Chains A and B, each alone.
Chain A
Amino acid sequence: MLRKKECVAMLLAGGQGSRLYALTSNIAKPAVCFGAKYRIIDFPLSNCINSGIDTVGVLTQYQPLILNEYVGNGQPWDLDRTFGGVHILSPYEAKTDTSWYKGTANAIYQNIRFMKMYDPEYVLILSGDHIYKMDYDKMLAAHKATGADCTIACMQVPMKEASRFGILNTNPDGSIYEFEEKPKQPKSDLASMGIYIFTASKLFKYLELDEKDPNSEKDFGKNVLPAMLNAGEKMYSYRFEGYWKDVGTISSLWEANMDLLGDVPKFDLRDTERVIHSRSPLAPPAYVEGKVVNSMIANGCDIEGTVINSVVGTNCVIEKGAEVKDCVLMGNTVVKAGAKVNYSIIDEDVTIGKKAVIGDVIEKASLVESKTSGIAVLGRGICIGDGKEVAAGDIVDKNI
């Protein structure tokens, strides 16, 4: 029997994530930590396996070291399959025309041979910068039911934010008659979530056409989708209702972390229906001796200070007298005695010295004009000396 996979997923994980500044100076955006023990890529990978898709190509390009190591053989997501499973696909040298991935469409184009190994009927295209839980199988069922060539997942966004997204203008039956990439005057509030299902033969056809077009930017949103629409292919929208957040900016990343907190959180990771898997680190349970209120604490932490309205990642140490409020600590961070950390995102492996002051109380900091909306950001592995200060909204990527 010929072995094949009905649907293969391709996860675009090569983006730099430049609007995350210091958080992505040396790791790819999908590898950025989220929710105390996860990385962003856990969400699409877990969604895949929870939707019955066990063949995933992860396209990497920018700073892939940590991402590659994290994904590994895919075992934490049950994606270590004998046929299928997760595969890291980096740009490669070819006999002719060796190149980096030049755009989202070109990245997929360069891996047509990978997809064809599984002889799929459908290809699911995902991106590695969103936090959500979604059953792709339902979307695939809709794709089959409408007989579409391409189905684009979308959700309603506030009209005033619509110009930040790719906007779908649809007929009442959900078919798409127009696709506008970041329109100044949006006609609808249906935003593309960057999740596409293609009938595989059509995808291959249009990728090859796009590749030959010298004027194309080799981008799905700008080139491939409009080209398909112009050629009269059947394109449908698929409405998603539920939590979905683009975490491409410092403030949205902070907000998404805060959405996990509260008695009735906007996004509930405790829901055991569709578990988000991760490479759970080997650490004993958290030791808690201080005051911890409305917060999330991962294993391996040692909390003897105060933690309020914060998300604290694996293996953090909050010493006696230290105070952490409205913060995201990604993991392996030490906050020494007497330090005060407010309204900040602290990347992994950071040391904050005794009595250091990071950020300002949220009420004041959120008024500060900065690239980060007032959130102080400390990059990976840096060390803040005893008594040093980092102002609200500052981005620090070297020792102070």
Chain B
Amino acid sequence: MASTVGVIFSSTNDENVPELTKVRSKGSIPYGGRYRLVDFALSCMVNSGITTVGMITKNNYQSLMDHLGSGKEWDLARKEGGLILLPPYSDESEMLYRNRLEGLKGASAFLKKCKEDFVVVADSDAVYKLDYRKVIDQHIKTNADLTLVYHEHEGGDINSYIMLDTDSNGQIISIDVNQRASGVRKHYINVFVARTSYLLNLIQTSIARGYSSFSGDILVPAAKTGNIYGYKYEGYYQNVDSLQSYFKANMDLLDKKIRTELFADRDIYTKVNDAAPAKFSETAKVSNSLIHDGCLIEGTVENCVLFRGVKVGKGAVLKNCIIMSENYIGDNCKLSYVVSDKDVAIRNGVTLAGCAQKPYFINKGMHI
């Protein structure tokens, strides 16, 4: 395929999910029993033949760095290229970037060094599986300046969507920024492709002109006058822009069709942890749930996603819960619609309940 470099934003709109991003960036939000959100964009890049990925970090990225390590789990611990962290203050930038454009400017020194002809820029705020090679193929075929990937779905309650309209050839004719979506629309999923030289030039001229918004100052005008195309991604897509959508994204995995689409090929890579296999006791009752290695189940678990090393005590009943790693759920607890962050301990007999629209959230490390 055409030589391509990847750039990933590990923090975007973190403030939409304050609960989960208090101790981490968007990309390192734990997901699906063993993954982090960033695994999807990163694995897709690797599976698309990309061997050089720059990771733009912003705030509290310690947990992200811990997760990514040298990049070896993604085969990105390399002499040539590989995973390269692009933390703030590392380049000519004297302050923390305030918007996507400044973030890209911070990455431009990295991009200048890359010999690859094309660049894929992606966020790490969503679960999807996309072959970027197809986007690049279309990009070459249409001879576009930019190709934006979109997915058709109904919007949620957030005001930060970017929606596209395309003509019959796929060329983008208008872009709506920061609007509430009504009905099914073509949502830009914050993945775009460009020639590396084009993007570098674009960043430079935009900064010189004092632009501050990638979408507002570049995409919107370009839709009117420029040469930008949409690429329609038709697979599973769920972004995490609220606790509610986080809950849904996890629960979606209990659907065999979605699970198969994402994981049947076993090519979503993630950090490996050597936990012993899950143990189910004589009293275990488990239905429609995902159970990771390291769990010890002595109670009842229904419609749940349990991360590594969760202990569920005797007589405890968990329904519709997402329990992150190393949680201890005491005997006879009753939990329903609970999202529990890592390292939480809940004493025997505690009852906690939320609802699908508003799951009950427990902060990392809490003792209840």
- Report which A residues bind B (CB closer than 8 A): 35-37, 75-76, 261, 263, 269-270, 275-278, 280-300, 307, 311
Contact = CB atoms under 8 A, between A and B. Distances in A.
B51 to A, nearest CB: 18
Contacts of A294: 280-282
Contact of A37 (B33, B254, B293): B293
A290 B269 CA distance: 27
B12 to A, nearest CB: 25
Given A285-B290, A286-B290, A292-B284, A37 B277 contact: yes
B299 to A, nearest CB: 13
Contact of B272 (A280, A287, A300): A280
B287 interface: yes
B278 interface: yes
A132 B158 CA distance: 55
A262 B272 CA distance: 26
A261 B268 CA distance: 31
Contacts of B286: 288-289, 292
B291 A282 contact: no
Contact of B270 (A275, A282, A293): A282
B5 interface: no
Contact of A298 (B34, B254, B274, B293): B293
Interface of B: 32-35, 72, 253-254, 256, 259, 262-263, 266-270, 272-274, 276-282, 284-294, 296, 305-307
Given A281-B266, A288-B291, A297-B280, 11 more contacts: A76-B274, A270-B276, A270-B279, A270-B294, A282-B272, A284-B33, A284-B35, A284-B268, A285-B34, A291-B285, A298-B293
7 closest residue pairs by CB, A with B: A285-B33, A269-B276, A285-B292, A36-B277, A285-B290, A298-B277, A284-B263
A293 B280 CA distance: 6
Contacts of A290: 287
A75 B273 contact: no
A263 B293 contact: no
A293 B284 contact: yes
Contact of A285 (B256, B288, B293): B293
Nearest to B295: A285
A280 B269 CA distance: 12
Nearest to A265: B279
B315 to A, nearest CB: 14
Interface of chain A, helix or strand or loop or mixed? loop
Contacts of B254: 287
Given A293-B284, A299-B34, A287 B276 contact: no
Contacts of A261: 279
A290 B273 CA distance: 26
Contacts of B282: 263, 293-294
Contact of A282 (B32, B33, B253, B269): B269
A284 B267 CA distance: 10
B270 A286 contact: no
B274 A287 contact: no
A263 B278 CA distance: 13
A285 B32 contact: yes
A300 B270 CA distance: 14
A288 B279 CA distance: 12
Contacts of A293: 280-282, 284
Contacts of A36: 277
29 contacts: A261-B279, A269-B276, A270-B294, A275-B274, A277-B274, A280-B293, A282-B268, A282-B270, A283-B266, A284-B35, A284-B253, A284-B268, A285-B33, A285-B307, A286-B278, A286-B290, A286-B291, A286-B292, A288-B290, A289-B289, A291-B285, A292-B284, A294-B280, A294-B282, A295-B280, A296-B276, A296-B279, A299-B293, A307-B280
A296 B277 CA distance: 6
A106 B294 CA distance: 41
Greatest chain B CB density within 10 A among A263, A277, A289, A299 is at A299
Contacts of A75: 72
Contact of A288 (B34, B276, B277, B287): B287
B259 A287 contact: yes
A261 B290 CA distance: 20
B272 to A, nearest CB: 5
Contacts of A297: 277-278, 280, 291
A285 B291 contact: yes
Given A282-B266, A284-B32, A289 B287 contact: yes
A300 B276 CA distance: 14
Contacts of A292: 280, 284, 286
Contacts of A288: 286-291
A281 B267 CA distance: 11
